[in-house]
A and B are shown apart, each in its own frame.
Chain A
Amino acid sequence: MIEINDLALGKVVGKLFSVLYLWFFFSLVFLNTITIGSFVVGYIMPETPLMAVIILFILTCAYSVRKGVESMTRYSALFVIMVLLFIAANVSMLIKEMDFSSFFPIFSFPVTNYIQASHTMAAVPFCDVIVFMMIFPHVEKGRSLRKPVFLGLTFGAITLLVTIVRDTAVLGVLGAYLTLPTLEVLRLINIGNTLTKVEVFFIILLIILQFFKTSVALFATVKSASQIFGLCSYKALAVVMGALAAGFAAMAFPSSAEMAYWGRNIAAHYSTFFEAVLPVITLTVALIRKSYKGQKEVGAS
């Protein structure tokens, strides 16, 4: 991606765009870190200092990045299987709790609510896959990326849809008042007073998946930094960038309420600038330069 910016936009503007992308990838690292930190301190270990959780988490992500992209992504297939099995299991266990009349009346909210929800869902979990642009050059030569990326996004969309349908069918209107509806939904699972506390598996999976996402974002950050500064290796920057991200995570939001407000009302616009606006500008300039170059060659011949 950094190389694309230099080619399409020239050295100066290309470097500026690259620095903007570097900031975006870095912001994904510390925003995801504070999210998991707040979750662990809020729901699991309320007496633990937030900084301790942040440091342990970011250290693990930095270690993963130092080991290299191949070992970092090797276990991603296992995570996908775990998520699939877990969702299938808990949907089947919650069927008796589901009330599909919770979906009615449909389209009863103002249009802006639907726009806000769709925009936030598209910009934050989906378009964040832009970080994989830094991993794609490491894919085996000759292998097409289109099908795996498309399948991955489709699988993500289906997983999200099933989760939201399950939560809405079980909780109904109450879901809108909860910070983590999925956690509350899983607390309802009680099979013969034996199979209970299923939310523990959800917590474990959430931390694992968040670790993977943050590792990929940290990899994108250090790789971008190494390409911008013309370094031979990115591995030396992993821990120090992680330490910087830990500092930013500690001071990003003064409270959970501020973080929730950012997530609901601002994050979509912030992400859209880096995920849609900048790539569209780069593509437009690249097409204009290509057509101008083509016309120049035709004129010369």
Chain B
Amino acid sequence: MIFLTLVAFLMIAFADVPELIGKKQWRELSVYSLFFLAALTMGILLSFGVEIPSPIAGAQYIIKEILHLNYQ
């Protein structure tokens, strides 16, 4: 599973990075790398079965437990 994840992300990188380097779009490349690393980290953690806390659970906690806005 981890191997498939790495292959998939390598393919994504091969699809986008050469074009960015060729056009010398360094700002785009740095922002792309930031999101790429975030996605890669998440992909690897999910492949290993690590439970990542969901931001939706955080939003639900704020709306339900703190603001008490939930309908039920």
In the bound complex, CA of A269 to CA of B71 (Å): 9
Using a CB-CB cutoff of 8 Å, which residues 200-240 of chain A contact chain B? 225-226, 229-233, 236-237, 239-240
Say how far B27's CB is from chain A's closest CB, in angstroms.
6
Report whether B46 and A251 are in contact in the complex, using a CB–CB cutoff of 8 Å.
Answer: yes
Report whether A266 and B12 are in contact in the complex, using a CB–CB cutoff of 8 Å.
Answer: no
User: Secondary structure of the B side of the interface?
Assistant: helix
Contacts of A226 in B (CB 8 A): 31
Interface size class of B (residues with CB under 8 A): 20 to 34
Report whether B27 and A236 are in contact in the complex, using a CB–CB cutoff of 8 Å.
Answer: no
Report whether B12 and A239 are in contact in the complex, using a CB–CB cutoff of 8 Å.
Answer: yes
Report whether A266 and B46 are in contact in the complex, using a CB–CB cutoff of 8 Å.
Answer: no
Using a CB-CB cutoff of 8 Å, which residues 246-260 of chain A contact chain B? 247-248, 250-254
Report whether B56 and A269 are in contact in the complex, using a CB–CB cutoff of 8 Å.
Answer: no
Contacts of B15 in A (CB 8 A): 239
In the bound complex, CA of A282 to CA of B44 (Å): 39
Report whether B43 and A240 are in contact in the complex, using a CB–CB cutoff of 8 Å.
Answer: no
**Cβ-defined partner of B31 (8 Å) among A27, A225, A251, A269:** A225
Say how far A2's CB is from chain B's closest CB, in angstroms.
14
Q: Does A13 contact B (CB under 8 A)?
A: no
In the bound complex, CA of A231 to CA of B43 (Å): 25
Contacts of B55 in A (CB 8 A): 27, 248
Are A240 and B39 also in contact (CB < 8 A) when A231-B28, A270-B63 are?
A: yes
Report whether A265 and B46 are in contact in the complex, using a CB–CB cutoff of 8 Å.
Answer: no
In the bound complex, CA of A243 to CA of B12 (Å): 9
In the bound complex, CA of A231 to CA of B28 (Å): 6
Interface code B29-54, partner A: CB below 8 Å = 1, 0 otherwise? 00110011011001100100001101
Report whether A266 and B64 are in contact in the complex, using a CB–CB cutoff of 8 Å.
Answer: yes
Report whether B46 and A240 are in contact in the complex, using a CB–CB cutoff of 8 Å.
Answer: no
**Chain B residue, CB-CB nearest to A228:** B31
Are A251 and B52 also in contact (CB < 8 A) when A236-B32, A243-B12 are?
A: yes
**Cβ-defined partner of A237 (8 Å) among B19, B35, B71:** B35
Using a CB-CB cutoff of 8 Å, which residues 15-31 of chain B contact chain A? 15-16, 19-20, 25, 27-28, 31
User: Which residues of A are in contact with B by a Cβ distance under 8 Å?
Assistant: 27, 31, 55, 112, 116, 225-226, 229-233, 236-237, 239-241, 243-244, 247-248, 250-254, 262, 264-266, 268-270
6 residue pairs from A and B, CB less than 8 Å apart: A232-B27, A232-B28, A237-B35, A243-B39, A252-B54, A266-B59
Q: Apart from A237-B32, A240-B39, A266-B63, what 17 extra A-B contacts exist at CB < 8 Å?
A: A31-B56, A116-B71, A232-B25, A233-B25, A236-B19, A236-B28, A240-B32, A241-B35, A243-B9, A243-B12, A248-B42, A252-B56, A262-B60, A264-B72, A265-B64, A265-B72, A266-B59
